[in-house]
Amino acid sequence: MSAAERRAPTRDEQRAGSLALRRVLAVGATVLIVDQLTKRLVVGSIDRGERIEVLPVLDLTYVRNEGVAFSSFAGQPWIVGLLVLGALAALTFWFLRNRTVKLAWLAAGMLAGGAIGNVLDRVVEGAVIDFLKPPHWPAFNLADMAIVGGMILLVIVVELENRRTTAAESRPETRAQRG
């Protein structure tokens, strides 16, 4: 976008951006609190390594994960820290540029809350507490679910916004204004 095409945000856009920022903080805080509460419940009520069948397709088990995504980089906390900091920085940068995009706040809040929940575990516990264990799949936690759900939503949000802006740019009246 050229300098001539840039414009100051309208008052409504500023309000929408401010509301979106508050929503990110609310969603992130909610994810973080629920994640930490469930982990404390598990640590306080299940012995490490113990398995309790909840459903035929889900066990509760208390395990500790020192890595990321399927225990990648276990034993290398500085790499894990750099990856998480880089991801949060990229997410923050993207969100600040796209905060008025529909549902961007929800994706960003889910991702930030989940990432911070797992980082807090690493700092406090030395590893991430995982406790949901389906058959033939590694154990995970609510922060992991928020991260995966947030990523799926982020991809959808970005794709829908891309389609919307592409359609708007291809309209004849938009091309005539630029020409």
User: What length does the chain have?
Assistant: 179
Cβ(73)–Cβ(80) below 8 Å? yes
Query: Angle at which helices 104-125 and 11-45 pack, to 10 degrees?
Result: 40
Query: Which is catalytic among the residues 35, 47, 121, 144?
Result: 144
Selection from 99, 97, 91 nearest residue 151 by Cα:
91
Instruction: Write out the H or E segment, with its range, that includes residue 58.
Output: strand 58-65
Q: What are phi and psi of 70, to 5 degrees?
A: 65, 35
Known catalytic membership, residue 12: no
Q: What is the CA radius of gyration of the chain?
A: 20
The total of other beta-carbon atoms located within 10 Å of residue 56's CB is 7
DSSP 101: S
Known catalytic membership, residue 59: no
Cβ(51)–Cβ(60) below 8 Å? yes
Catalytic residues: 130, 144
